Amino acid sequence: MPADRPIGIHDLSFSTTSLVLTHAELAAHTGAALGKYHHGIGQKEMSVPAVDEDIVTMAADAAAPIIERHGAGRIRTVLFATETSIDQSKAAGVYVHSLLGLPPNVRVVELKQACYGATAALQFATALVHRDPTQHVLVFAADIARYELDTPGEATQGAAAAAMLITAEPALVEINAPSGLFTHDVMDFWRPNHRTTALVDGKKSLTAYLTALAGAWHDHRAHHGPPIEEIHTVCYHQPFTRMAHKAHRHLLETAGTPADTATIEHAVAPTIRYNEIIGNSYTASLYLALAALLEEDDKLDGRTLGFFSYGSGSVAEFFTGQVTPGYRTALRTRAHREAIARRSPIDYDTYRRLHTQPPHTDGGRHALPHRTRGRYRLAEIHDHQRIYEPAPTRGETHPATEGP
């Protein structure tokens, strides 16, 4: 087969949790001005996992519609990117492989580098398909962002999973070469093994992000990537959505084409619809921005999009993609909006109770109540083993607002 066939994202589906905390509810109890959340960081709501939801259940829920549409016979590789892994040895994708009933002749690997990991998975996937254009690669980006209560990072929490099918002749976006790369050892954000919540130096992280953006952009141009004038707009990693505005201004200034606030708002606004009501989903954030853009803008046929992926610590990449003509026929707009709409609002006390529930680490048998509204659930933890199962139909779901 020709080596120059386009390769990229053929299908894109995401899922989130069954619970949601609004920032209005958060502000009412923290004493913060609501404008600090809505306008200062650009966040309105945050997805909160129920007790039987985690990165595996979200990932499987995101991927199930892809398998239903395309089948699993051509999937040869599953790449699972996360920075909230559930095991130090076993890849979370192996559990998803089982839940989805994928064939046994598949490689499954987990990748980690903060919020950047999914972009590494995407690039590895395109290389595999380039080598064998008959195969499909399933890429997952799934995370639950958690910070200590009553800290600045608390308002940016969130959770989601994105699933992408990478193929030749993609229906959504062809991934272009080259990429601009940048790595710098910096302690702006980290989570040691003994902690369930992340640590972050907010000011240092903002500086590190913008430094990496400039570095990746310069490397992109040095390797003959398209100039800013040829890029319709850019999807950014969004730890909070106002970061995309800051990033776009910085990119334009770095590229020598500064713009006013209205121009920046116009460019960024179509990419933030999901992130502002889901919260930070780490590896999935950039690809939720892409989903929002494709669903918001019906005039992207043949357009070149930019992508900036940043992972604290830090690793970054700037790359571009070409939108496939007719892309809107492959979108999942209704399903995505239904996933958002079916979340149950919780009050502040329920949120704190869920947040402070200790993990089950004693090796005993812990059956978990059915709370999820998704297709799959974490049913039990027994002898330090996680046991997953298909969830009963949504019509049978227990009220998600009940306690843990």
Taking a C-beta distance cutoff of 8 angstroms, is the pair 321, 304 a contact? yes
- Residue 246 labeled ligand binder: yes
Q: How many CB atoms lie within 10 A of CB 32?
A: 15
The residue annotated as part of the active site, out of 25, 45, 53, 83, is 83
- Indicate if 53 belongs to the active site: no
- Residue 280 labeled ligand binder: yes
Taking a C-beta distance cutoff of 8 angstroms, is the pair 182, 219 a contact? yes
- Report the Cα–Cα distance between both ends of the chain, in Å, rounded: 54
- Indicate if 115 belongs to the active site: yes
Taking a C-beta distance cutoff of 8 angstroms, is the pair 141, 287 a contact? yes
- Indicate if 83 belongs to the active site: yes
Which of 139, 162, 122, 159 lies closest to 7 in space, CA to CA? Answer: 122
Helix axes 285-296, 117-131, angle to 10 degrees: 70
Residue type, 395: G
* DSSP assignments along 165-177, one per residue: EEEES-SSEEEPS
The residue annotated as part of the active site, out of 10, 23, 53, 115, is 115
* DSSP assignments along 54-120, one per residue: -HHHHHHHHHHHHHHHH-STTEEEEEEE-SS-S-SSS-HHHHHHHHHT--SS-EEEEE-BTBTHHHH
Contacts of 381 (CB under 8 A, 6+ apart): 360, 365, 366, 368, 387
The residue annotated as part of the active site, out of 23, 220, 237, 336, is 237
Residue type, 149: L
Catalytic residues: 83, 115, 237
Q: Binding site for (3S)-3-hydroxy-3-methylglutaryl-CoA: what residues are annotated?
A: 147, 246, 280
Please enumerate, by residue number, every residue annotated as part of a binding site. 147, 246, 280
